[in-house]
Amino acid sequence: MKLMVLAAAAAVAIGMAAPAAARDLPAGGLTRQEVIDWLVSRGHPARIKYDEIGKDYAVTANVDGVNWDIWFYNCSTPKAGRCQSIQYAAGWTERAGMDATKINGWNRDHRYVRGYITSSNGVFGEYDVEVSPGGSWEQLNDSLDIWLIRLKEFQTYIGG
């Protein structure tokens, strides 16, 4: 009897100590609709938009008045296919006082979001994330949390 109680207690202890298993992303990556559903579940209304300049579809969202997009790369088929990587991106039109020295300072001192200036003096911040193979929903949640924190910091840095 004692042995059974000890065995049961050990099984419970082992079960409680085991880490929770990560929830894998779908094989082959994510579709735009899955990203929309995920963002909505995280409290960020989102929609698909077509970008005339890039001739591609992105998912667009907004936080604290800042519009940002998720672009899709390494996709099995255009528009509806599963994509192996995504890129968070936000852009601002002309920013007074922003130059190569300042944007390079950001890139030197901050991880994850890299910034650049366009020829029209627009400023962009981008963050790339591989979602396949081997991605998990927890990893994707972490990437969104990092993006939203860095997005606010970047906007402040560029005077947005």
pLDDT score, position 54: 80
In Å, what is the CA distance from 99 to each residue of 57, 60, 103?
30, 27, 6
| pLDDT at res. 160 | 67
Residues of the chain with pLDDT > 70, as a percent, come to: 85
Q: How far lies 94's CA from each of 99, 118, 132, 156, in Å?
A: 11, 9, 35, 15
Q: Region 13-18: what's the mean pLDDT? A: 49
Question: Tens of pLDDT along 57-69?
Answer: 999 999 989 999 9
Q: CB neighbours of 103 closer than 8 A, spacing ≥ 6?
A: 115, 116, 117, 123, 158
Residue 50 banded pLDDT, cuts 50, 70, 90: very high
Mean pLDDT rounded to a whole number for the chain: 86
> Which is higher by pLDDT, 137 or 76?
137
Give how far Cα 145 sits from Cα of 26, 85, 122, 152, Å.
Answer: 21, 17, 25, 11
How many Å apart are CA 63 and CA 52, to the nearest integer? 23
Mean pLDDT, residues 13-23: 59
pLDDT above 80 for 52? yes
Q: pLDDT band for position 42 (50/70/90)?
A: very high
List the one residue out of 112, 119, 106 whose CA is nearest residue 88.
112
pTM: 0.83
